[in-house]
Amino acid sequence: MKGFVLGVIVAFLALGFAFWFVLKHGYINFSADREPSVFEARMAMDAVDASTDRRAPDQKDPIQPTEDNLLAGAKLYVNHCAGCHGIPSNPESQFSQSLNPEAPGFFKDAPDMSDNQNFYIIQHGIRWSGMPAWSKTLSDEEIWQVVTFLGNIGKLPSRVQAELGSTSSQPAPMPKGMPMNH
Asked if residue 73 binds ligand HEC (CB under 6 A), the reply is no
Amino acid identity of residue 3, one-letter, is G
Asked if residue 131 binds ligand HEC (CB under 6 A), the reply is yes
Number of residues that bind ligand HEC (CB under 6 A): 25
Give residues with Cβ within 8 angstroms of 179, minimum separation 6. 132
Asked if residue 87 binds ligand HEC (CB under 6 A), the reply is no
Q: Name the residue nearer to ligand HEC (CB basis): 99 or 162.
A: 99
The span from the first CA to the last CA of the chain, in angstroms, equals 55
CA atoms within 13 Å, Cβ hemisphere of 71: 9
Minimum Å gap between C-beta 1 and ligand HEC is: 45
Q: Mask: binding to ligand HEC, 16-55, rule CB under 6 A, as x and -?
A: --------------------------------x-------
By CB under 6 A, name the one of 56, 72, 84, 172 that touches ligand HEC.
84
d(CA 128, CA 85): 17
String of b and e for 63-99 (b: at least 16 CB within 10 Å)?
bebeeebbbbbbbbbbebbbbbbbbbebebbebbeee
Q: Which residues bind ligand HEC (CB under 6 A)?
A: 48, 80-81, 83-85, 95, 99, 101, 103-104, 111, 113, 118, 121-122, 126, 129-132, 134, 146, 175, 178
